[in-house]
């Protein structure tokens, strides 16, 4: 029975995935004002979605909520800028090197951070990301200090220039789809299953002979790999990189995207990033009296308080509220399946915290 | 010699400021398992409030008291309105406080702008204090920070170990449910602790705003240092915060004095070293 539902649900998921992908492919050709919709909204949502996905994947699979993802994003971005703009290295070499460097820094940070759990982990990754910011400012000879590194030349791929917004959009889309499928795939490998075991019951996994520490390090390293990929894309999106791109507000942006989309689902990262991007673009409209950051903060707090499942969890939450409304007074709860997704969606607090 | 002593004093007075700020953070965490990531924003707002009160009343002491009370109330308000309903979920609470810190930072930028403020040092704290040996002279204002931190530290220690209320707090740290089962109104105790912890951030802001300056970004800086101090010293322990603050203050100032390029790296290295040996911090208890 449950397997039947499972197969059915999986097929629906794939169909939905195909439809969304098709829409995203035609998107740049049908929208008006492509500079705004394709670049300011589409591209930004894609790279912001990838770095948020790295946060969500880590939180969902291991229960560790990291505020440091933007550090690895920044490492790879700065690496490309320093090697290929300040230096003169070919992109064919500097891009893989940059992703590797971001991942390697992620590995080093993981060695320390995964020794702690829960809010300690949150604080520690926050401290790491802020130290990263101060280091970038201090190492001015490499990073250009406060000015950052500008004038990034965009590369060419098979004769197609990244200067063309559609080319860059499709590269970002391909990267996003690739990362998404990779996350989905890993969840089904023995490694992904072991990680879930580590999240739910580390003691038992330890007793079974799994090295919990190294599993956590590996998971964190993988998430920093995703963040590094996003860093490269974001560099070509901005055309420059400054310390302002890795400050606290931006780190919190990644968190907001994840919470807005819903920490229970990796696809939520893209819903959240689109939501935040549109919100931030339109909140500059003179008709809206509140400042952009204040509005973002207020929405973030409201989502945390009232919609812990984010956008992805909305339908479940609505269904549960409807059931409660309809069945007031009765204690019937004959649909056990209904509880499960809700709890997963509420994982922001429970699963992630207890880890 | 004189240079080393001066740097040492710099480190200690900075540690005093870190202690004032971080002790509030750890007090709240120790009692309620709430990590208040808006603590840095509370610090900055405390500084601004202290400045405004000083401008109107011409009294520095009043500025300090005003900052402490105002920020205590802000903290209490945040706890009662936003946090109390979800206080069992420590992660969600921490995230909400990040949101609050974002809103506060933006609103403070709107009201006070991007320029740097500084509280005017009162006349009796101006000038330098002559130690009378090794030719050592040091600004009175900064020495006062050290004295204030020691007084606050002793007061907190006495409050927690010698009073009935402190006894309740210590019991609450160990077993919250049992304390409420004995008929103590834990809600009131929690509210009081949140008020006190936030007030310390506000006081720290007014004191720090006298020695150093206040501008957008100061909030993040002090949040970061408070976090490092409590991570090094151990969450939830007042003595731990004192130890952590002294270590962080001394390491960062000596690094700044002798190898400035390495200052933030060495502070970070200190944190890594402590975490590698004792993940729960020097005086922290294993979770």
Residue B103: closest C-alpha in chain A: A294
pTM of the model: 0.88
Give B-chain residues touching A123 at CB under 8 angstroms.
35, 37, 227, 230-231
| pLDDT band for position A310 (cuts 50, 70, 90) | confident
CA-to-CA dists, residue A270 to A23, A54, A274, angstroms? 14, 11, 6
Q: What value does the mean pLDDT take over residues A28-55? A: 89
DSSP designation for B128: E
Query: Token pair for residue B168?
Result: 């309740």
- Please state, for a pLDDT cut of 90, what percent of chain B lies above it: 58
Residue B287 lies in a domain: no
Query: Given an 8 Å threshold on Cβ–Cβ distance, is B99 in contact with A301?
Result: yes
Give A-chain residues touching B264 at CB under 8 angstroms.
131, 134-135, 138
pLDDT at A329: 54
| pLDDT band for position A336 (cuts 50, 70, 90) | very low
CATH of the domain at B118: 1.10.3470
| Closest listed residue to residue A129, CA positions, set B173, B206, B228 | B228
Q: For residues A226 and A231, what is the distance between their CA atoms, to the nearest angstrom?
A: 9
pLDDT at A288: 73
Q: How many CB pairs under 8 A join A and B?
A: 114
CATH of the domain at A318: 1.10.3470
Q: For residues A182 and A178, what is the distance between their CA atoms, to the nearest angstrom?
A: 6
Least confident of A134-143, A246-255, B63-72, B261-270: B261-270
A254: left (phi over 0), alpha (psi -120 to 50) or beta: alpha
Structural domain for B17, as ranges = 2-277
Q: Is A44 exposed, middle or buried (0-12, 13-18, 19+ CB in 10 A)?
A: buried
Q: What value does the mean pLDDT take over residues A139-150? A: 85
pLDDT at A2: 57
B154 min Cα distance to partner chain A (Å): 27
Query: Best residue in A52, A110, A128, A134 to probe B by mutation, most B CBs within 10 Å?
Result: A134
Query: Given an 8 Å threshold on Cβ–Cβ distance, is A353 in contact with B106?
Result: no
Query: Best residue in A55, A122, A251, A283 to probe B by mutation, most B CBs within 10 Å?
Result: A122
Chain centre to alpha carbon of residue A165:
22
Half-sphere exposure of A262 (CA within 13 A, CB side): 22
Residue B201 lies in a domain: yes
| Closest listed residue to residue B190, CA positions, set B27, B38, B8 | B27
At residue A287, φ and ψ (nearest 5 deg) are: -70, -20
Instruction: Check: CB of residue A99 under 8 Å from CB of residue B258.
Output: no
With 60 as the cut, is the pLDDT of residue B149 above it? yes
With 60 as the cut, is the pLDDT of residue A348 above it? no
From the CB of residue A256, how many other CB atoms can be counted at a distance below 10 Å? 28
Residue B228: closest C-alpha in chain A: A127
| pLDDT band for position A100 (cuts 50, 70, 90) | very high
Residue B282 lies in a domain: no
Q: For residues B198 and A242, what is the distance between their CA atoms, to the nearest angstrom?
A: 34
| Closest listed residue to residue B211, CA positions, set B143, B115, B109, B280 | B143
Residue A143 lies in a domain: yes
Q: What value does the mean pLDDT take over residues A75-93? A: 89
With 70 as the cut, is the pLDDT of residue A341 above it? no
Report the residue from B103, B223, B264 with minimal CB separation from A298. B103
Grouping H, G, I as helix, E, B as strand and the rest as coil, residue A267 is coil
Residue A8 lies in a domain: no
List pLDDT tens digits, range B98-135.
999 999 999 999 999 989 999 998 888 888 888 877 77
pLDDT at A3: 61
Residue A60 lies in a domain: yes
Instruction: Check: CB of residue A264 under 8 Å from CB of residue A60.
Output: yes
From the CB of residue B183, how many other CB atoms can be counted at a distance below 10 Å? 6
Q: What value does the mean pLDDT take over residues A28-50? A: 88
Structural domain for A223, as ranges = 33-354
Residue B284 lies in a domain: no
Q: For residues A256 and A303, what is the distance between their CA atoms, to the nearest angstrom?
A: 9
Residue B83 lies in a domain: yes
Residue B168 lies in a domain: yes
Query: Token pair for residue A351?
Result: 């699963």
DSSP designation for A37: I
Residue B85: closest C-alpha in chain A: A305
Residue B166 lies in a domain: yes
The structural domain count of chain B equals 1
Residue A27 lies in a domain: no
Least confident of A217-231, A253-267, B60-74: A253-267
Query: Token pair for residue B130?
Result: 């002559």
Please tell me which residue, B178 or A215, carries the higher pLDDT value. Answer: A215
A289 min Cα distance to partner chain B (Å): 13
Residue A47 lies in a domain: yes
With 70 as the cut, is the pLDDT of residue B251 above it? yes
| pLDDT band for position A145 (cuts 50, 70, 90) | confident
The structural domain count of chain A equals 1
Query: Token pair for residue B49?
Result: 């409030």
Report the residue from A116, A256, A291 with minimal CB separation from B110. A291
pLDDT at A46: 95
């Amino acid at each position: 029975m449950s397997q039947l539902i499972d197969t059915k649900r999986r097929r629906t998921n794939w169909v939905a995935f195909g439809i969304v992908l098709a829409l995203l492919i035609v998107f740049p050709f049908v929208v008006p004002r492509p500079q705004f919709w394709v670049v300011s909204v589409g591209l930004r949502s894609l790279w912001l979605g990838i770095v948020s996905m790295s946060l969500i994947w880590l939180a969902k699979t291991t229960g560790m909520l990291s505020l440091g993802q933007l550090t690895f994003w920044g490492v790879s971005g700065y690496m490309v800028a320093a090697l290929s703009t300040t230096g003169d290295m070919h992109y064919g070499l500097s891009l893989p090197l940059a992703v590797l460097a971001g991942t390697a820094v992620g590995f080093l940070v993981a060695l320390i951070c995964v020794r702690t759990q829960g809010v300690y982990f949150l604080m520690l990754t926050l401290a790491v990301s802020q130290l990263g910011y101060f280091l970038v400012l201090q190492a001015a000879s490499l990073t250009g200090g406060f000015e950052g590194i500008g004038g990034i030349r965009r590369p060419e791929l098979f004769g197609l220039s990244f200067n063309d917004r559609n080319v860059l959009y499709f590269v970002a889309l391909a990267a996003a789809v690739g990362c998404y499928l990779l996350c989905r795939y890993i969840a089904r490998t023995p490694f992904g299953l072991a990680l879930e075991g580590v999240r739910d019951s580390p003691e038992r996994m330890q007793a079974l002979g799994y090295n919990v520490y190294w599993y956590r390090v590996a998971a964190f390293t993988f998430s920093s790999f995703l963040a590094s990929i996003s860093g490269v894309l974001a560099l070509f999106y901005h055309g420059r990189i400054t310390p302002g791109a890795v400050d606290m507000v931006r780190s919190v942006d990644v968190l907001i995207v994840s919470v807005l989309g819903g920490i229970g689902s990796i696809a939520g990262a893209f819903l959240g990033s689109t939501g935040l991007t549109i919100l931030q673009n339109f909140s500059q409209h003179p008709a809206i009296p509140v400042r952009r950051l204040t509005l973002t903060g207020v929405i973030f707090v409201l989502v945390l308080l009232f919609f812990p499942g984010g956008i992805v969890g909305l339908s479940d939450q609505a269904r549960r509220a409807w059931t409660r409304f309809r069945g007031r007074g009765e204690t019937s709860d004959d649909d056990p399946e209904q509880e499960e997704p809700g709890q997963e969606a509420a994982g922001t607090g429970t699963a992630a915290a207890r880890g | 010699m004189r240079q080393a002593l001066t740097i040492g004093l710099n480190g200690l007075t900075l540690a005093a400021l870190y202690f004032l700020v971080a002790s509030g953070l750890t007090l709240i965490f120790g009692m309620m398992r709430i990590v208040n990531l808006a603590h840095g924003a509370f610090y900055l707002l405390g500084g601004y409030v202290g400045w405004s009160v000083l401008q109107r009343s011409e009294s520095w002491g009043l500025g300090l008291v005003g900052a402490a009370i105002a920020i205590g109330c802000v903290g209490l308000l945040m706890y009662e309105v936003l946090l109390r309903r979800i206080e069992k979920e420590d992660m969600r609470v921490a995230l909400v406080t990040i949101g609050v810190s974002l809103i506060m930072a933006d609103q403070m930028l709107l009201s006070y702008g991007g320029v740097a403020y500084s509280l005017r040092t009162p006349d009796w704290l101006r000038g330098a204090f002559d130690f009378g040996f090794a030719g050592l002279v040091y600004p009175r204002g900064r020495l006062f920070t050290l004295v204030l931190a020691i007084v606050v530290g002793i007061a907190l220690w006495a409050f927690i170990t010698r009073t009935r209320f402190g006894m309740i707090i210590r019991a609450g740290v160990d077993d919250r449910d049992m304390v409420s089962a004995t008929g103590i109104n834990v809600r009131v105790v929690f509210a009081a602790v949140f008020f006190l912890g936030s007030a310390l951030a506000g006081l720290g802001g007014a004191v720090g705003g006298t020695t150093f300056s206040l501008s957008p970004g100061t909030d993040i800086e002090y949040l970061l240092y408070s976090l490092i101090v409590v991570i090094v010293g151990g969450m939830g322990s007042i003595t731990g915060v004192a130890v952590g603050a002294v270590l962080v203050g001394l390491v960062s100032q000596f690094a700044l004095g002798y190898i400035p390029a390495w200052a933030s790296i060495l502070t970070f290295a200190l944190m890594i070293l402590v975490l590698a040996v004792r993940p729960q911090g020097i005086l922290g208890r294993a979770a």
